[in-house]
A and B are shown apart, each in its own frame.
Chain A
Amino acid sequence: MHDLSLLPVEIIYYTQDLKKVTLHQGDTFIPSPMLCEGIKIGVCYNLPDSDSPEDFVTFCIARKVLMTGKQVESTQTYIDPTTGSKRLFKRLGIPALHGGCFELRYEINTELLSNKFNLDTNMQDNFRLIASGINHELRSPLQAISMYTDVIEDGAGDTKELASFVKQEIKSITDILDTLGQFNKNQKGNFDYEPIEKTLQSAWDTLALTMLPTCPSLDVSFKIVRGLKKLVPDMPQSELTQVFTNILRNSIEALDKENSYIEVKLINKTNKFFVFTIRDNGCGIPKSKIKNIFTPFVSSKSGSQGLGLTICRHFITQRGGTILVLSQENKYTEVIISLPIRGYYNK
């Protein structure tokens, strides 16, 4: 189960005097009788700096008792006067409105959303990509080993030195296989479950200890802003630690400013799921590369196997969650994750 409906979408209704009313699924509202030509409903995708008016949300506004039709007219940019942020919203026209109480119904177009944010969790596709990646990645060290043995056979080099090169290649193959072994972790069993903030802080502390001393000029602030202290996600702590380690490592590697920050924030929660974001103000990801960030074995970083985010997505989707990444080059990267809730830590 992938609950994409928890992703940050806001439905906003503007009254005639431009007062903003946030609506949720199933809310009823009474449009102003003065607006005989139609009411305006804004859909804020609430994804920072969204730049393409894609139709993630389908409206169906039902007039109470009597169902009426739906009509989505146009998409336009709106500058939120309170925050100054740019948002997209759709105008919904309901002609010949004669008052009455309305109920808001909408659906998220998960297919479009999945395509845009690489949420494709089709197992066959994943398997094909991973199989193709393994095939490609293992052949290069094997090629090197094969050629080293050719050199040894020809007696054209120091055997001891060549043997050490061969061992290095065998190690790189083993490293790839070890990383791939993480996909095979048990899904069932006795796992430890911890509050998310504890796991997050612990992953950060470990990384900060190992990575930050290598870049002394970096001044990083790590903040867990709100709401995560007591939440226990339905994801084993070992998997969650791996997910946070991979994401935070990417963030640290991307930081390049004097006042660098990584901020974790809860943004949405229901009885069963919660959504949080991990945002950094690092160098961001170029548009041309963002579509491949979950593709196994694709990385532009030297020494990287290109499996970090693939593993994150694997763990998260296996537990019924969702992950997507938004980024703007030279400004920020934001990872949005939804996870099922296991419970609350009460001590």
Chain B
Amino acid sequence: MKKLIIVDDNTSVTLVLSRIFSVKFPDIEVICFNTKSAGIAALNWMQSNKPDYAILDLVINGVNGNDLYAFIKEKSYNTKTVFLTGCSDSDTKLQKFVKKHPNIPVLRKVASVTSILTSLELDA
């Protein structure tokens, strides 16, 4: 079974995404990390698990989406990743990330479900 991790410190975002995936893609196991320390919990999980898909919030306290992506790259996991962020276009964190990773899809909240699925190369 393929695995999807959703990392966002907003519980509702992770719950509704999880619900959408469980209906549309019952063959994908969804693992949500949605506490204030979501990043560190996801990092611990990835020490012994390889996600096939990842929906990551760019800005979280502590270990953030950027750190998680660096870990995915370091482990050479072939994880299809999309970033979901509440940052504005002018936010320097977002600008830096996009400059560093021009090929990684970064969607600004509010993003449509279709755009999230398309970014993960899943059939919307």
Q: Are B87 and A136 in contact (CB under 8 A)?
A: yes
| Chain B interface size, under 10 / 10 to 19 / 20 to 34 / 35 or more | 20 to 34
Instruction: Provide the bound-state CA to CA distance between A270 and B89, in Å.
Output: 48
Q: Indicate whether A93 reaches chain B with its CB closer than 8 angstroms.
A: no
Tell me the minimal C-beta distance from B118 to chain A in angstroms. Answer: 14
Give the residues from 127 to 172 in chain A that come closer than 8 angstroms, CB to CB, to chain B.
132, 135-144, 146-148, 150-151, 154, 156-157, 165, 168-169, 172
In the complex, chain A residues whose CB is within 8 Å of the CB of B101: none
In the complex, chain B residues whose CB is within 8 Å of the CB of A138: 86
Q: Are A140 and B8 in contact (CB under 8 A)?
A: yes
Q: Are B113 and A142 in contact (CB under 8 A)?
A: no
Q: Are B84 and A143 in contact (CB under 8 A)?
A: yes
Q: Indicate whether A271 reaches chain B with its CB closer than 8 angstroms.
A: no
User: Scoring A residues 22 to 35 as 1 if CB is less than 8 Å from chain B, else 0, what string do you get?
Assistant: 00000000000000
Interface size on A, residues (CB 8 A): 28
In the complex, chain B residues whose CB is within 8 Å of the CB of A300: 36-37, 61-62
Q: What number of residue pairs across chains A and B have CB atoms under 8 A from each other?
A: 75
Q: Indicate whether A115 reaches chain B with its CB closer than 8 angstroms.
A: no
Q: Are A144 and B16 in contact (CB under 8 A)?
A: yes
Instruction: Provide the bound-state CA to CA distance between A148 and B20, in Å.
Output: 9
Q: Indicate whether B17 reaches chain A with its CB closer than 8 angstroms.
A: yes
By DSSP majority rule, is chain A's interface helix, strand, loop, or mixed?
A: helix
Known contacts being A135-B88, A168-B12, A300-B36, is A140 close to B109, with CB within 8 Å?
Answer: yes
Q: Indicate whether B98 reaches chain A with its CB closer than 8 angstroms.
A: no
Q: Indicate whether B59 reaches chain A with its CB closer than 8 angstroms.
A: yes
Q: Indicate whether B13 reaches chain A with its CB closer than 8 angstroms.
A: yes
Q: Indicate whether A335 reaches chain B with its CB closer than 8 angstroms.
A: no
Known contacts being A169-B12, A299-B36, A302-B36, is A139 close to B109, with CB within 8 Å?
Answer: yes
User: Scoring A residues 3 to 42 as 1 if CB is less than 8 Å from chain B, else 0, what string do you get?
Assistant: 0000000000000000000000000000000000000000
Partner of A148, one of B16, B59, B87, B112: B16
Partner of B12, one of A150, A157, A165: A165
Tell me the minimal C-beta distance from B26 to chain A in angstroms. Answer: 12
Q: Indicate whether A188 reaches chain B with its CB closer than 8 angstroms.
A: no
User: Scoring B residues 25 to 45 as 1 if CB is less than 8 Å from chain A, else 0, what string do you get?
Assistant: 000000000011100000000
In the complex, chain B residues whose CB is within 8 Å of the CB of A218: none
In the complex, chain B residues whose CB is within 8 Å of the CB of A147: 13, 16-17, 20, 113
Q: Are B108 and A139 in contact (CB under 8 A)?
A: yes
Known contacts being A151-B16, A156-B20, A157-B19, is A143 close to B35, with CB within 8 Å?
Answer: no
Q: Are A151 and B19 in contact (CB under 8 A)?
A: yes
Q: A142-B110, A143-B10, A144-B13 provided; 20 other pairs, C-beta below 8 A?
A: A138-B86, A139-B86, A140-B8, A140-B12, A140-B86, A143-B86, A143-B111, A144-B10, A147-B17, A147-B20, A150-B20, A150-B112, A151-B20, A156-B20, A156-B24, A157-B23, A165-B16, A300-B61, A301-B36, A302-B36
Which A-B residue pairs are the 5 nearest by beta carbons? A139-B86, A139-B109, A140-B10, A144-B12, A136-B86
